[in-house]
Amino acid sequence: MIRIHEFDGADEPGLDRELRAALSVLDPESRDPNYWLRFRWWVMSGAAGELARRRQAVSLTVGDVLESWARALLPTAALVAAVASMLLLRAEEPSNDFQPLVVEELLLSEVGGGVVPIDASALTFAAEIF
C-alpha cells in the first residue's frame, strides 16, 4: 500500500515521476504552451467590469448607498400607497350579520352528539405561559 507522504519529495526517483507523468495528461499546458497566459487574460478581461465597479464602490458611503436605493424605492412606495388607498376607498363596509365564533364553537362545530360544557377560565394557552 502506498502512503500519501511517499509522493511529497520532488527529487525522489520512481513514484513521483510516474505520478507526474500520469497527471501531465490533465495539464492543458502540455498540449498548448501558452494556455495559462491566455487563460489569465480571458479571466481578467471577463472580470474587468466587476473589478472596476468594486474599485469605485470602496469610496461609497452609507449615504450614497441609501440615495441609490431611494431612486427606485420612493417611486415604488408612492405607487403602492396610491394603489392601497384606491383599494381602501373602494372597499365596502362589512355587514354586521356575521357572528364571530368562539374557540369552543370552532372545535366542536363538526362533532356530533351533545356538547360538553367547557370552563374557559380553566384554559391556559402556550402564549400565556411563555
Residue 24 forms part of a structural domain: yes
116 found inside a domain: no
Q: Quick one: how far is CA 5 from the chain centroid?
A: 41
Asked whether residue 66 falls in the same domain as residue 54, the answer is: no
Q: What is the pLDDT of residues 45-81, one digit of tens each?
A: 999 999 998 888 788 788 888 888 888 888 899 999 9
Structure confidence at residue 2 as a pLDDT band (50, 70, 90): low
Q: Are residues 3 and 49 in the same domain?
A: yes
Cα dihedral 92, 97, 103, 109 sign: negative
Cβ-based neighbours of 101, under 8 Å, separated by 6 or more = 109
Task: Write the pLDDT tens digit of every residue in 76-85.
Answer: 999 999 999 9
Query: Considering the domain boundaries, does residue 103 fall inside one?
Result: no
pTM of the predicted model, to two decimals? 0.32
Determine the distance from the C-alpha atom of residue 28 to the mean position of all C-alpha atoms in its chain, rounded to a whole number.
Answer: 36
For residues 19 and 4, give the distance between their C-alpha atoms in angstroms, rounded to a whole number.
Answer: 12
Residue 98 counted as domain residue: no
Residue 97, pLDDT score: 67
- Grid cell listed for 101: 365564533
